[in-house]
Structure 1
């Protein structure tokens, strides 16, 4: 339990970095950030795959297909939606949407186990209502703080801000599916190395990143987009940041999460995703160069309190009168 929690903490600290990339490179479109990141991840995975070649040979075609599915949804689609949301709404609001993942994942895990015939009870809505209200209030307060800042900017676009919030919801959907599916595979293959599984997913992102980046380059060239290709207006920063995020967040973060997923029940691992939210908010306000205001601090505190309350309520309700293992 202790080592699994520490691995989840390390993953959260590294994943928090991905929220800053779209801010540092705000003049780059989200599609370029996404495919640049995963092209770099795929290239980093090549030497790692050579070192892990003995373990990778044990993977079947079905395993590689699963790694590809995880790479498409949990990596490429998730980050495309998230980076688009951040560039439209700023960091805090999409971060808090992602912060609801522990509750969404825990509920989804229990729903899946129930539908699969496992007698895992679902938390009662009467137990969930108060913490869900706290979560909604937390998101609402941060939203109010961000909207107040937007109203002070005469060039602000509220429609763009709302679209960012909607894209963040799509990112939540992707990252609800990914950890559950990833944990299913890891728990079904306890003899496989989490490091090799992280590397396998990295290898699957290489053709995705290469094809996506090439398509982006061709599209920008044909449409005379005002963006110098292949590395944009700040090539050194772009290439360096893509490599840093690919190594720390994509590979090391996935490795740490895989280690945590093999050691912890799915619902507990879902709870610890809150580390990512706190890290991302900390990085965002550090980049802005000021502490969050009272509304934002209160909103973040309400969100964390609501998440922990909801998961604790869920565990109490899922605890059987006599049986029912947790999902």
Structure 2
């Protein structure tokens, strides 16, 4: 239990790094950051593909197309939206929206699907109320900090929140569809499926990165080389996001899932949100104000309420958000 808990906390701390990369590289536009991260991720998948070559050869054309859809929406599009949201609106609120509320958002989506009941609505509404209250508190503080800002800055903030909401929709759709595919193909290991998604990500990321760089050359922003004006920082950031934030984080998460019950490992997902917020405020060199701390506490309480409600469900009930998200992490990123 102790080892599993430590691994789960470590996974959250590593995943939180991808939320601050856009702040560490503010002069790099979101498309270059998103495609750069998954270019690194796809390169990591190539040696793993040789290891899994026999199992990969058994996948059909429809399987590869599904891997392509999942990678395009759940990986590249999600991170493109997230990096844009963070650069426009900062870390706190986009993190709470795109990551913190995700377990309950998945439960809501599962409830809306025909023939599936993740959680009774009566048990889900209190969680939603707590999460929305937490988001409102953080949003109120961020708006107060922007009260003397220009109209364009307020417009950027609003656009960032909108992008964070769309990012949350992407990650709400992704784990449900990904888990559906895994349940429909019990003979395919999560390692093989992870490698397949990494392989289809590579050409998309390569093409997207090349187009983004060519477009930036026309804007005179100093991108005379593919690595931009700060090549060393950019390479380190992409390495951290693509290798540490994805592969090593998944390794720790898989270890946590092997040693902990699903309900308990699901609660540890909150560590990702808390880590991202801690990194963001560290970069601001300030302690979170009381209103923001209260908002974060409400969000965590809402997620834990939903997970506790799921844990008290009967065995016949369909899995809620954590049970859906668990295979997402083990199947999205490269395995052990």
Contact 1:102–1:274 (8 Å) recurs in 2:
no
C-alpha displacement at 1:224, in angstroms? 4.3
Q: What are structure 2's unaligned runs of at least 5 residues?
A: 320-336
Contact 1:198–1:254 (8 Å) recurs in 2:
no
Per-residue CA deviations over 1:253-302 (Å, capped at 9, x if unaligned) read 35566777899999887655323211211221222233211111111001
C-alpha displacement at 1:134, in angstroms? 1.8
* Structural mapping, 1:14-25, within 5 Å: 14-25=14-25
Q: Matches of 1:255 and 1:71 in 2, distance apart?
A: 19
In structure 1, the residue matched to 2:199 is 203
Contact 1:32–1:216 (8 Å) recurs in 2:
yes
Contact 1:109–1:267 (8 Å) recurs in 2:
no
- Is 1:304 the equivalent of 2:304? no
Match of 1:292 among 288, 293, 297: 288
C-alpha displacement at 1:111, in angstroms? 3.3
Q: TM-score, normalised by structure 2?
A: 0.83
In structure 1, the residue matched to 2:81 is 81
In structure 2, the residue matched to 1:280 is 276
Judged with a 3 Å threshold, the aligned counterparts in structure 2 of structure 1 residues 248 and 186 are, in CA distance, closer, same or farther, namely: farther
Per-residue CA deviations over 1:129-163 (Å, capped at 9, x if unaligned) read 33322211211111122222223556971110011
Q: Matches of 1:46 and 1:312 in 2, distance apart?
A: 40
Q: What are structure 1's unaligned runs of at least 5 residues?
A: none
In structure 1, the residue matched to 2:225 is 229
Per-residue CA deviations over 1:17-66 (Å, capped at 9, x if unaligned) read 11010000011100110111111111121122223323322323222222
In structure 1, the residue matched to 2:184 is 188
* Structural mapping, 1:134-213, within 5 Å: 134-151=130-147, 157-213=153-209
Per-residue CA deviations over 1:207-250 (Å, capped at 9, x if unaligned) read 01111011112222345455333111101110121022101223
In structure 2, the residue matched to 1:38 is 38
Q: TM-score, normalised by structure 1?
A: 0.85
- Is 1:326 the equivalent of 2:313? no
SS of the counterpart of 2:146? helix
Match of 2:121 among 106, 120, 124: 124
C-alpha displacement at 1:187, in angstroms? 3.0
Point out the more displaced range, 281-290 or 222-231.
222-231
What root-mean-square deviation, in Å, do the aligned CA atoms of Structure 1 and Structure 2 show? 3.0
Question: How many residues are aligned here?
Answer: 318
Q: Matches of 2:235 and 2:144 in 1, distance apart?
A: 35
Point out the more displaced range, 202-211 or 152-161.
152-161
